[in-house]
Chain A
Amino acid sequence: MLALVRNIFRSALVALPLSLNAVAGDASTMLRAVSSDPYPETMTKLQRAIEANGYVFSRVQRVDYGLRRRGYDIPPYRVVFFGKPEEIRFLSVAQPRLLPFLPLKIILYQDGDKVVLLAADPSRLAQVYPGPANDGLFQTWRRDIQTILREAARSE
């Protein structure tokens, strides 16, 4: 718990400019990366990147599967849920207004011969949940998601 707080306040104190490189912002509202690898391989790399960055992979929501069962034709489109259990438990009590945004999510969808990985930029939440502690948390999420996307999109 104390390590969690230290991490969050460290982020608040040293809010460094984030290098986007292979991870683009979409008018600064989305974090996006593109993989040239096949969809299954990209999904596997995403799960590994999530765990390598200190998060727990929770589950996958198969949006495409549900739509196909209803008769809609859609290429692969899935939502990956992940998080840190101690962080979620803490926020459930201290910041219940953040519950609709937890666990964290990244979507993967097939776009032609590429796979797009996309997440909402958590730093946008600072506009509606201001404060230094929240800023630190949202910047940490943003940095971590950018790293995860970068690692998942990297071709081997």
Chain B
Amino acid sequence: MSVVNTLIPVTAVARMAAAFASLLIAFSVPVSFAGEAGNLPVLVVKSPYDLEQTVANLKTAAEGNNFRVIREQSVDHGLVENEDEDRRQRILYFCNFDMLHDALAIDKRVGVFLPCQVNVTEREDGVYVIAPNPKVISALFLLDNPELAAACTHLQNTYEAILEEGTL
């Protein structure tokens, strides 16, 4: 193989790597999630299990908290061909239809945050579970409806229980 033929792919890879690194620097916030609290619109827990076991545990936990699991998919499902989906990024959707009906009766806008979901992401340092933080999201987006506050507190408690039970 000629020197030119080996140099060109190496140079291209080096350019891509540099571009990717600069993007990560530009966009990154520290990705160590442990110990995050309060003001972020997401709840984050690191799982001691692999991705498949974590997903299975979360399904059990959701059902144990009176939610029905309605769907599991990759985060890019429907956006790429099935065989190209990134199975390391999963979404688990679940629903309590009675709670849903009550929430929509209070404020039809809650639909923009439906269905209830948890994301399971496999990273280099392990598997993380990431869920919306209903109280922060409600304060951020639905601030003019205090009736939702109690429902969001209940939902947040439920999310926390599901995350805890799913990663015990």
CB pair B111–A97 under 8 Å, yes or no, is no
CB pair B23–A5 under 8 Å, yes or no, is yes
Within 8 Å of chain B (Cβ to Cβ): is A22? no
CB pair A100–B42 under 8 Å, yes or no, is yes
Residue in B44, B112, B142 with the greatest tally of chain A CB atoms within 10 Å: B112
Q: If A27-B143, A77-B104 touch, does A56 touch B39 (CB 8 Å cutoff)? A: no
A-contacting 9-mer, from B4-12, B25-33, B54-62: B25-33
Q: How large is the interface on A (under 10, 10 to 19, 20 to 34, 35 or more residues)?
A: 35 or more
Q: If A29-B143, A92-B121 touch, does A61 touch B115 (CB 8 Å cutoff)? A: yes
CB pair B75–A103 under 8 Å, yes or no, is yes
- Tell me the bound Cα distance from A119 to B45 in angstroms: 28
CB pair B76–A89 under 8 Å, yes or no, is yes
Within 8 Å of chain B (Cβ to Cβ): is A15? no
Q: If A95-B27, A100-B41 touch, does A1 touch B76 (CB 8 Å cutoff)? A: no
CB pair A96–B121 under 8 Å, yes or no, is yes
Q: If A66-B97, A77-B104, A103-B79 touch, does A96 touch B123 (CB 8 Å cutoff)? A: yes
Q: How large is the interface on B (under 10, 10 to 19, 20 to 34, 35 or more residues)?
A: 35 or more
Within 8 Å of chain B (Cβ to Cβ): is A79? yes
CB pair A88–B79 under 8 Å, yes or no, is yes
Interface residues of B in 47-74 (CB under 8 A from A): 70
- Tell me the bound Cα distance from A76 to B32 in angstroms: 42
A89 CB to closest chain B CB (Å) equals 6
Interface residues of A in 93-114 (CB under 8 A from B): 93-97, 99-100, 102-103, 105, 107, 109, 111
CB pair B75–A1 under 8 Å, yes or no, is no
CB pair A100–B111 under 8 Å, yes or no, is no
Please indicate the chain A residues that have their CB under 8 angstroms from the CB of B19 in the complex: 1-2, 5
- Tell me the bound Cα distance from A127 to B136 in angstroms: 11
CB pair B143–A96 under 8 Å, yes or no, is no
CB pair A56–B111 under 8 Å, yes or no, is no
Counting from the closest, the 10 A-B pairs by CB-CB distance are A58-B78, A107-B111, A99-B119, A85-B79, A94-B27, A70-B97, A100-B132, A120-B112, A56-B79, A29-B141
Taking A26-B109, A72-B101, A103-B79 as given, write out 5 further A-B residue pairs in contact, using a Cβ cutoff of 8 Å, ordered by the A residue number.
A30-B109, A83-B79, A90-B23, A94-B23, A100-B130
